[in-house]
């Protein structure tokens, strides 16, 4: 007989439905906690995952990082240790059984505090690991997540109890088989932590010209080591990483304003509008004007 894998309970599904009554991303009274709902499968959606824990209570999703694909559902959970440009797609959802996902933002200082308090050591193996990991759900994590969501029904308890439960959730993740991956990104001076700092800088300054020598110096690595570790963490080169950030921001600007394609190109750091249009079409399947028109028609 095959043991049933741990997974979110019916209680969690019903609670998430209450606090996410309509499709979309819903902030909660716990500042770092969001609930995402979708009643139908989705097209691929480009976004930047912040350091976070994602737990699916119902349905399934695929996250694509570079050339790799990560599937997560109620039997598993996803952790992003750094800022990563992702293509996400809900692949299991319906009005009767909507996709429901809990996203908990993670803070490096909070991770480091739990690591130090628990006396957890650095991973034994050298080097860096991918910044996106899928792990199997376990009973301890499942129980802590349910208790965190229950607090939404008791807002007076949130200031005291939510930080305690979030620390427990972090502890459960760090103790898992994949916990070493997250530990290395929190430990000051590790290769992974240095790349994480560079990624934060790139996310703030993606419109600036990319200088690999400066980024390698920031990470205190040789140029060749920087390329190798950056690719290991993100699954892509620094140039491709920056390009995805630029194109995502350009698409957001075009969709939310009356800005034309050339102005958007210059705004995100392109010097050539024609190069911008080519790379935009390569990423989104259509030139900027047609893509934005299609998106607006679908709203």
Separation between Cα atoms, residue 189 and residue 281, nearest integer Å:
39
Which of 147, 132, 182, 142 is CA-nearest to residue 30? Answer: 147
Same domain, 141 and 252: no
Asked whether residue 196 is domain-assigned, the answer is no
- Counting the structural domains of the chain, the total is 2
Mean pLDDT of 125-152: 89
292: CATH: 1.10.10.60
Same domain, 174 and 255: no
Backbone angles phi, psi at 188, to 5 degrees: -60, 130
Asked whether residue 197 is domain-assigned, the answer is no
Same domain, 35 and 164: yes
List the strands of the sheet with 132-136, edge to edge: 24-27, 33-38, 99-105, 52-58, 76-80, 132-136
Same domain, 121 and 248: no
Which of 68, 111, 81 is CA-nearest to residue 196? Answer: 81
Asked whether residue 201 is domain-assigned, the answer is no
Asked whether residue 189 is domain-assigned, the answer is no
Number of other CB atoms surrounding residue 184 within 10 Å: 23
Same domain, 23 and 106: yes
Its domain, for residue 97, covers 8-184
pLDDT in tens, 25-65: 999 999 999 999 999 999 999 999 999 999 999 999 999 99
Same domain, 39 and 122: yes
Same domain, 64 and 141: yes
Mean pLDDT of 86-109: 95
In sign, the C-alpha dihedral spanning 33, 158, 77, 14 is negative
pLDDT in tens, 219-230: 999 999 999 999
Asked whether residue 203 is domain-assigned, the answer is no
Asked whether residue 202 is domain-assigned, the answer is no
Separation between Cα atoms, residue 250 and residue 165, nearest integer Å:
38
pLDDT in tens, 169-205: 999 999 887 788 888 888 878 888 899 999 999 999 9
Residues in CB range of 288: below 8 A, 6 or more apart: 250, 251, 254, 261, 264, 276, 277, 280, 281
Instruction: Write down the pTM of the prediction.
Output: 0.88
Of 135, 155, 184, the residue at which a domain comes to its end is: 184
pLDDT at 124 over 80: no
């Amino acid at each position: 007989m095959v043991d049933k894998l741990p997974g979110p309970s019916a209680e969690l599904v019903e609670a998430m439905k209450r606090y996410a009554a309509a499709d979309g991303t819903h902030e909660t009274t716990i500042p770092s906690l969001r609930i995402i709902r979708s009643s139908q499968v989705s097209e691929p959606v480009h976004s930047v995952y912040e350091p976070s824990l994602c737990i699916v209570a119902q349905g399934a999703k695929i996250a694509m990082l570079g050339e790799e694909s990560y599937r997560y559902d109620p039997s598993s959970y996803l952790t992003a240790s750094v800022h990563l440009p992702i293509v996400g797609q809900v692949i299991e959802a319906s009005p009767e059984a909507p996709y429901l996902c809990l996203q908990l933002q993670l803070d490096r200082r909070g991770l480091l505090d739990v690591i130090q308090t628990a006396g957890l050591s650095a991973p034994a193996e050298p080097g860096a690991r991918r910044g996106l990991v899928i792990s199997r759900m376990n009973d301890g994590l499942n129980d802590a997540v349910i208790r965190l969501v229950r607090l939404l029904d008791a807002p007076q308890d949130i200031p005291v109890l939510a930080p305690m439960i979030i620390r427990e959730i972090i502890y459960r993740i760090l103790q898992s088989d994949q916990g070493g991956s997250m530990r290395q990104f929190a430990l000051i001076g590790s290769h992974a932590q240095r790349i994480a700092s560079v990624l934060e800088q790139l996310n703030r300054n993606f419109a600036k010209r990319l200088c690999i020598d400066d980024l390698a110096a920031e990470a205190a690595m040789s140029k060749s080591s920087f390329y190798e570790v950056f690719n290991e963490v993100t699954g892509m080169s620094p140039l491709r990483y920056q390009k995805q950030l630029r194109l995502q921001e350009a698409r957001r600007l075009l969709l939310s304003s009356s800005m034309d394609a050339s102005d958007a190109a210059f705004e995100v750091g392109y010097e050539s509008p024609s190069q911008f249009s080519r790379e935009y079409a390569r990423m989104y399947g259509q030139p900027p004007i047609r893509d934005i028109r299609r998106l607006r028609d679908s709203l």
